Amino acid sequence: MSTTLFTAWGYEVSILESVAAEVSFIGVWLGTTGKRITWPWWAASSALYMVFFYQADLFASAALQIVFIVAAVWGWRDWAPTGATPGALSNRNRAMWAVATLVSVSLLTPVLSHLGAAATWSDAFLLVASLIAQILMVYEKIESWVLWLIV
C-alpha cells in the first residue's frame, strides 16, 4: 500500500489516493466548463484510482476504472476540439435510461449477493449508475451531471 499522507476520522489517506482525488477534482472542474481537455484528466485519475483499488484488493472497482479510461478516450475522440455542446435527453430517452438502470440493478444485485458482496443493492446501483453517467457524459447530455451527483 502507498505511504499514508494523513489520517482523517481513523481512515489513512495515502498519497496515491490524495493525488487521484486531486486529479479527479481538476477533471470535474474542467468538465463543468465543457472543455475537451477534461478527458485526459479523467483518464489520469481513473488510472491512479485503478492502482489504488488494486492495491486495496478492490478488484471490481479497479476494473471499473478501465471502463472509465476507455470512456475517456471515447469522449476525447468524439467531443469537438472546441468542447462540449450539452443537450438534454428527450423524455422518451430519459425514461429508457431510467428503466435500463432499474433493470440492470435488479439483474446485478442477485449476482453480487451470490458472490458474497456486503452491500448488494448499493454496489449494484453505484456500478450501473456510474457506467450510465459516463456514457451520458460522452454523449454530452446534461442528465449525466444529475446522475453523477446521485452517485
What's the pLDDT tens digit per position in 57-100?
Answer: 777 788 889 999 999 998 898 887 877 788 999 999 999 999 99
Q: Which residues pair with 80 in a beta bridge?
A: 83
What integer pLDDT is reported at residue 2 of this predicted model? 67
Distance set, CA 61 to CA 55, 96, 131, 139 (Å): 11, 26, 12, 23
Per-residue pLDDT of the chain in tens (151 residues, 90 and over written 9): 568 877 888 888 899 999 999 999 999 899 888 888 999 999 999 999 999 988 887 777 888 899 999 999 988 988 878 777 889 999 999 999 999 999 999 998 898 888 877 678 888 888 899 899 989 988 889 898 899 889 8
In this structure, the strands spanning 11-14 and 4-8 are antiparallel
Q: Which residues pair with 7 in a beta bridge?
A: 12
pTM of structure: 0.74
Are residues 38 and 30 in contact, defined by beta-carbon separation less than 8 angstroms? yes
Q: Residues 6 or more apart from 25 whose CB is under 8 A from it?
A: none
What integer pLDDT is reported at residue 151 of this predicted model? 83
Distance set, CA 57 to CA 1, 54, 103, 131 (Å): 10, 5, 28, 21
Rounded-to-integer distance, Cα 130 and Cα 74, Å: 16
